[in-house]
Amino acid sequence: MAHGGSAVGRHEGRAVFVPFGIPGETVRARITQDKGRFARAEVIEVLEAAPIRVQARCKHFGQCGGCHGQHIAYEAQLAFKRQVVADQLGRIGGLRDVMVHPTLPSPDPYGYRSHVTFHVAVGGRLGFVSANDRTVLPIDECHIIRDELAAVSFQSSVTSSPILLQTGEGSRVRVQVGSEGAPIVFPMDTDDDDESYSAESSDLSADSVRYTIKGHSFRCSAGSFFQVNLPQAEKLVELVLDRLALKGDERVLDLYSGVGLFTAFLAEKAAGVAAVEAFPLAVEDAAFNLEAFDNIDLYEGTIEAVLPSLEGNFAAAVVDPPRSGMDTPALNALIKRAPERLVYVSCDPATLARDAKKLIANGYILRDVQPVDMFPQTYHIESVAHFMRG
């Protein structure tokens, strides 16, 4: 299984990447893109199915680009994700002897997403980008979003795109139409009929939702990042704290700190936390979420701009970058600060491998990597990588 969700077969000596195929089975496939040294293909017929092939739950699976693995038994999805992490560390990072633990499963492999972005298909129906990555596929069911979102998603036609939906505490749903549109919050009451979702009963002034993680409530405004799988977000917090093993006298860096998810828990265990975030709305949310703490310094700006200005040493650091990983100036600034312990929370094993290679070249040892299934039924993989200065 390749990173990106395609099974890899061989034909006449070259690799062929086949979405919705499974290693260990025989399929008849049609070439869709000939790249010379490799090709991409689509499954026409499954001739001999792998034992782990299952019936997909969603009728849109295979056409919708939102899911990539509903045809694979969940335990096998977890195993493939572990293999992909190890493979990327080896191929890109040259790290072939790293301990990669079995992937931590999601408590529920369906119905886990707490926020989602729809696009508008022809006729005003909501949909997702199709598997061919060229059109919007109108849908009338989705099994990976939470029930509160599904109840709102397929009720009416709209003209503006995108449509952002978030659900948080109290099972309320925040709907934003268009990237700059006014938010609409639908109160959810399962005892009422569909009229309970009308705009007339909505709180139009609400511009955020709240999430509770391990007893801490976090306000999250539109555009601010928060993990989509809340039970797995709790696992991430536990893994970060376990790897850092703070004793209480350390100063800690929290980079790409967002609305303060890790910051709040680090502050309970450390003498002080310096949290760095570039997105202004997320910094405002963090200031609100962390106001009870007096040992946190919040900085709005890029990592390469902020880190050189900080005084003193930092014993530990947490980084949670976007899928593109840490850019070169940010990674150089972190290496110069030289924290003894470093936990890297990654949502892309390829960029994790790239950044790990540079960290190791600058004196760090990669102790272990723990994959976490934040996104069941998709190829996306969250990982927690633990580094120590050698």
**Would you say 169 and 129 are in contact if contact means Cβ atoms under 8 Å apart?**
no
The structure tokens listed for 69 are: 């693995």
One-letter amino acid of 356: A
The 10s digit of each residue's pLDDT in 219-241 is 998 778 899 999 999 999 999 99
Of 101, 374, 349, the closest CA to residue 243 belongs to 101
Of 228, 275, 274, the closest CA to residue 251 belongs to 274
Of 139, 205, 140, 197, the closest CA to residue 173 belongs to 197
The more confidently predicted of residues 203 and 36 is: 36
Read off the pLDDT of each residue in 195-212 and give the average, rounded to a whole number. Answer: 53
The structure tokens listed for 219 are: 């306000």
Q: What is the fold of 1-53?
A: OB fold (Dihydrolipoamide Acetyltransferase, E2P) (2.40.50)
- Residues in contact with 108: Cβ distance below 8 Å, sequence separation at least 6, in sequence order: 231, 376
For residue 211, the surrounding DSSP H or E stretch is strand 208-213
Lowest mean pLDDT among 30-34, 155-159, 200-204, 385-389: 200-204
Reduce the secondary structure of 90-119 to three states and give it as a string. HHHHCCCCCCECCCECCCCCCCCECEEEEE
CA 345 to CA 373: how far, in whole Å? 13
The 10s digit of each residue's pLDDT in 61-109 is 999 999 999 999 999 999 999 999 999 999 999 999 999 999 999 999 9
CA 198 to CA 372: how far, in whole Å? 37
- The secondary structure of residue 172, as a DSSP letter, is -
Please return the burial class of 311, using the count of CB atoms within 10 Å of its CB with bins 0-12, 13-18 and 19+.
Answer: exposed
SS3 content of the chain, % helix, strand, coil (to 5): 25, 30, 45
Read off the pLDDT of each residue in 274-287 and give the average, rounded to a whole number. Answer: 96
What pTM was computed for the model? 0.91
Q: Which residues are catalytic?
A: 347
The 10s digit of each residue's pLDDT in 115-136 is 988 888 877 788 899 988 888 9
**For the chain, how long is the longest CA-to-CA vector?**
65
The more confidently predicted of residues 127 and 342 is: 342
Q: Which residue has the tokens 């080896």?
A: 90
Domain covering 81-107+213-217+225-389: architecture: 3-Layer(aba) Sandwich (3.40)
- How confident is the model at residue 204, as a pLDDT? 35
- How confident is the model at residue 178, as a pLDDT? 65
Lowest mean pLDDT among 54-63, 167-176, 238-247: 167-176
Helix and strand element counts for the chain (H, E) = 8, 19
What are the sequence ranges of the domains in the chain?
Answer: 1-53, 81-107+213-217+225-389, 115-208
CA 388 to CA 244: how far, in whole Å? 10
Report angle CA 200, 121, 192 to the nearest 5 degrees.
30
pLDDT classification of 174: cutoffs 50, 70, 90: confident
Fold: same for 1-53 and 81-107+213-217+225-389:
no
Q: Where are the beta strands (DSSP E) in 80-194?
A: 115-120, 126-129, 136-138, 163-167, 173-177, 183-186
**Would you say 365 and 388 are in contact if contact means Cβ atoms under 8 Å apart?**
yes
Q: Are strands 251-255 and 208-213 parallel, antiparallel or unpaired?
A: unpaired
Q: Which residue has the tokens 């909505």?
A: 202
